[in-house]
Amino acid sequence: EVQLVQSGAEVKKPGESLKISCKGSGYNFANYWVGWVRQMPGKGLEWMAIIHPGDSDTRYSPSFQGQVTISADKSMSTAYLQWSALKDSDTAMYYCARATSGTFSPFYSDQWGQGTLVTVSS
Amino acid sequence: DIVMTQSPDSLAVSLGERATINCKSSQSVFYSSDNKNYLAWYQQKPGQPPKLLIYWASTRESGVPDRFSGSGAGTDFTLTISSLQADDVAVYYCQQYYNTPQTFGQGTKVEIK
C-alpha cells in the first residue's frame, strides 16, 4: 500500500526554525516527485514547491521561493519542508503529495499525506 | 503563473440531482505533442487531505465512482457529479500541471439543498 506519513503537529514562536517531514512507503520513492501544499485556516490549496528525490530537481512557486526550503533524502524515503524564521502568517496545514513523473516535469498528485498543522504564535 | 478560476464558489444541489463545476485557465493547458490536457480535479472533505478524482481532464482515478466525470479542453473544463450523494459534500478543486508552479482553482463548495 502506498502511503505518505507526515510528522506531527508543531507549535512554534515567530522567528523560530522548523523542519517537517513526509515519509513515503509502498513504492520506489526515488521515481516520483514529492510536493508540498499549504492550506491556511478556512482557505484553499496553495502549491508551494516540489522535488524529485531521484535527481534532486527542485521547483518553487515564486510566492514561496526564499521563504521555505524543500529537500529529500532518498535513502530514508523522506521529503522535508523547512523554515529558517517562522512568521505568524505561516500558520496553516501543510500537505505533502506524491506526483506522477513526466519526462521533465511533475504531473498530478495521486497520493497525499495526512497533513501537518503548524501553528506560529507568540 | 497560470491562473485557475472556478465557478461557482459554492452550490447547493438536491440529492440525486446533477452538480456542475466549471474551471477556466488563463492559458491553454493542452499539449499538442501528446494530445493531452494537463488538468486534474480533487475532492476535499472536512478534516481530510485532498483526494484525486480526475486527471488528464477526463480520466477517472481508480476507485472513483462513475457518477464523477470530467470534460473540456484547452482553457475550459467541467467536473460533473451526475447524481449527487450525501457523501459528495466537499470542496472541489481543479489544478493545472501543464507547468510549474502548478496552480489550483480557489475551490467550489458543494452542499445538499
**A55-98 pLDDT, tens digit each:** 999 999 999 999 999 999 999 999 999 999 999 999 999 999 99
Question: Hey, which residues does A85 pair with through a beta bridge?
Answer: none
Contact across the interface for A108 and B97, Cβ inside 8 Å = yes
Give CA–CA dist B45/B53, Å, rounded.
13
Helix (H, G, I), strand (E, B) or coil at A31: helix
Is A57 near chain B, with CB under 8 Å?
no
Average pLDDT of the residues of chain A: 97
* Cβ distance of B52 and A113 shorter than 8 Å: no
Nearest to A80 by CA among A69, A89, A90: A69
Of A44, A50, A109, the CB nearest to B52: A109
The 3 state secondary structure assigned to chain B is CCCEEEECCEEEECCCCCEEEEEEECCCCEECCCCEECEEEEEECCCCCCEEEEECCCEECCCCCCCEEEEEECCEEEEEECCCCHHHCEEEEEEECCCCCCEECCCEEEEEC
Written as nine digits, the cell of A50 is 516540489
On whether any CB of chain B is under 8 Å from the CB of A110, the answer is yes
pLDDT at A104: 82
Output DSSP code: residue A55.
T
Residues of A in contact with B97 (CB under 8 A): 99, 105-108
Give the per-residue pLDDT at B108. 98
Query: How far off is chain A from B61, nearest CA to CA, in Å?
Result: 8
Instruction: State how far residue A15 is from chain B, nearest Cα, in angstroms.
Output: 27
Average pLDDT per block of 10 residues along chain B, 113 residues long: 97 98 98 95 98 98 98 98 98 97 98 97
Nearest Cα neighbor of B23 from B4, B45, B50, B9 is B4
At A112 the three-state DSSP class reads strand
